[in-house]
Chain A
Amino acid sequence: MSGVLELHQVAKSYGEGPNTVHALHGIDLTAQAGELVAIMGPSGSGKSTLLTIAGTLEVADEGAVLVEGQDVATMSANDRARLRRRSVGYVFQDFNLLAGLTAAENVSMPLELDGLRPKAARAAAHAALDELGVADRAGHYPDQLSGGERQRVAIARAVVGDRHLLLTDEPTGALDSVNGEGVMRRLRAACRRGVACVMVTHDAQLASWADRVVFLRDGRIIDHTSAAPGPESLLVPSAES
């Protein structure tokens, strides 16, 4: 079975000569429809690089990237932009909201660009902001929002619409744990609708919401978890009196 996202032997370096940084080597990764895959690794291990390549924001030096079965290297720049707008929801590590637009406009704009009527786009944006508990900030500009509110607006922008692939970079970094859990429940719900989700994090609690966890070190995948055990796998500790 082919995945919504497939990376085959992807490598990426930055810089030249003695200053070269080998950010990724030999990365093989697949995310199926309905699956949440977490990428865990320490700072500088290549997590964001992997995600930007998966989201076609950067081009791999080696290897192939397939989104919904299409090799992105064979697509025109325009086609890639359309793919990003229509099929891929992206939550950036630094949120990347547009400063001149309100929270609601940030969420509705990609839908409008994609041809949805403004009224329908606004309604969808409002519903997404509401689910993440920031509907009352819809009219605020990014610089009027707290870090955690900005993060939730960025997530609303990524999950709204009919995307098939969600790429999230530390999606709860600015949130307390109860709000972070709300975001994870939202991502899991998207997966149940058939969305494939790749989530980058260095946080084990977040990663534990995933079906599969892939561990990255120095740009290489060094390990991954086995198939998801259910709650019944928990050894029941007995109470002591």
Chain B
Amino acid sequence: MTVRHALLALLSEGPKYGLRLGQEFEARTGEIWPLNTGQVYTTLQRLERDGLVESDDDADTGPKKDFRITAAGDEELRRWLRTPGDNGAPPRDELVIKVLVATQVPDVHVAELIQVHRRHLVETMRAYSRLKEDAGEHDVGLLLVVDAELFRLDAVSRWLDTAEARLRRRPDPDAVATVPARPKLRGRVGARR
């Protein structure tokens, strides 16, 4: 989530002052992403320096100072909206590493470890689902943000299910030595972060 582009999007509706930008940002993301006022002003300063927003120089510099999006800012916003998300390199997920490591550590029951993480995931997801239930069906901003988080956690939970099923079918660990060499992925997988 880039605050820069979120502020540009809010300004694309018309001029606004900093304090209001912070409030609108929070309201529209269902208050899941709080943003402090300092962060709003630093980002606005950088946007102004880059010529993407402008303000009235003569007006006072207090919280009521209005900002407007410039033509360059509008162009930047539209370019960013169409730029693909970073799906290239898989992130080095902590949970993936824990499960991988657990398969190597003696006397660790991997299925049990997987269940511990699955339970935590479902408990976190339950808090999000409760948020969704309380929100009702009209609060689209909140629902979209919560859905995204639920799908992300759901993907991790499905990965755990798959990992458990794979490890169940795993041949005798002593047979691992005879597994043919596989192409080296090490340079690529998990390169990011």
Which residues of A are at the interface with B, using a C-beta cutoff of 8 A? 40, 42, 177, 181, 184-185, 188, 202-205, 207-210, 213, 215, 217, 222-223, 225-226, 228-231, 233-234, 236-241
Contact = CB atoms under 8 A, between A and B. Distances in A.
B126 A208 contact: yes
B39 A208 contact: no
Interface of B: 1-4, 25, 32-35, 39, 42-43, 111, 115, 118-119, 121-134, 137, 147, 150-151, 153-154, 157-158, 161, 164-165
A228 B39 contact: no
Contact of B123 (A177, A226, A237): A226
B118 A209 contact: no
A209 B118 CA distance: 15
B33 A223 contact: no
B4 A241 contact: yes
Nearest to B150: A205
A236 B32 contact: yes
A241 B125 contact: no
Most buried by A among B1, B125, B130: B130
A240 B1 contact: yes
A204 B121 contact: yes
B124 A234 contact: yes
B114 to A, nearest CB: 11
Contact of B125 (A177, A184, A204, A222): A204
Contacts of B161: 42, 202
A222 B42 contact: no
Nearest to A205: B154
B122 A231 contact: no
Contacts of B3: 239-241
A192 to B, nearest CB: 10
Give 3 nearest A-B pairs by CB, closest first.
Answer: A208-B125, A231-B131, A204-B157
A241 B43 contact: yes
Contact of A228 (B126, B132, B157, B165): B126
Contacts of A241: 2-4, 39, 42-43
B131 A239 contact: no
B124 A209 contact: no
Most buried by A among B3, B129, B137: B129
